[in-house]
Amino acid sequence: MLLDSEQVWNEAKEQLVRESGGRWRDDAPRTMMGMSSPEWAGYLRDELGVPLEPDMISDEVVRRLERIYRNELPLIDGATEAVERLAGSLPLGLASSSNREIIDLSLELSGLRPHFAAIVSSEEVERGKPAPDVYLEVLSRIGAEPARSVAVEDSETASARRRQPA
């Protein structure tokens, strides 16, 4: 949990839906929680009526996020210090539902990239969260056993959904 980004992502997606003539739903943020970019871009097209191909939808949302992050990165208070302390004694991996471009930009702007032994976007695995694929890939890359590992989440909803069987 490095960024307080959930609301920023939702605002960028909602703006795109409304500006393109789609129909935003109040339950859309909860529905998209943990989805990979191909999944949520398809949802914006198929369910919310954005008249673009999913790759174009994803690119536009990422462009909006990049602009926001370059202006003010929404780092959670204490995140930098926590990562630096933990990285001194444990191998750290980052498993994220964010697009790779946003992950890389966030780590560049925060200066935290060197502290992570592995970084995986849900775009790089078969299934996005709440499926465990992105976590298992990170653990594989750092040589860690799932039973001896801990995940720190940034959302109560995401944490609760992950407790359900995959």
Q: What one-character-per-residue DSSP string does 5-74 give? A: -HHHHHHHHHHHHHHTT----TTHHHHHTT--HHHHHHHHHHTT---S-HHHHHHHHHHHHHHHHHH---
Domain assignment of residue 1, yes or no: no
Tell me which of 71, 96, 122 is where a domain ends.
71
- Are 89 and 111 contained in the same domain? yes
The pLDDT assigned to 131 comes to 87
Count the domains in the chain.
2
| Residue 159: both structure tokens together | 């944490």
Alpha-carbon span 93 to 147, nearest angstrom: 15
pLDDT digits (tens, 9 = 90+) for 21-47: 999 999 999 999 878 888 899 999 999
Phi, psi of 153 (to 5 degrees): -105, 165
Amino acid in position 38: P
The pLDDT assigned to 98 comes to 87
**CATH at 67:** 1.10.150.240
Q: Which domain holds residue 44?
A: 6-71
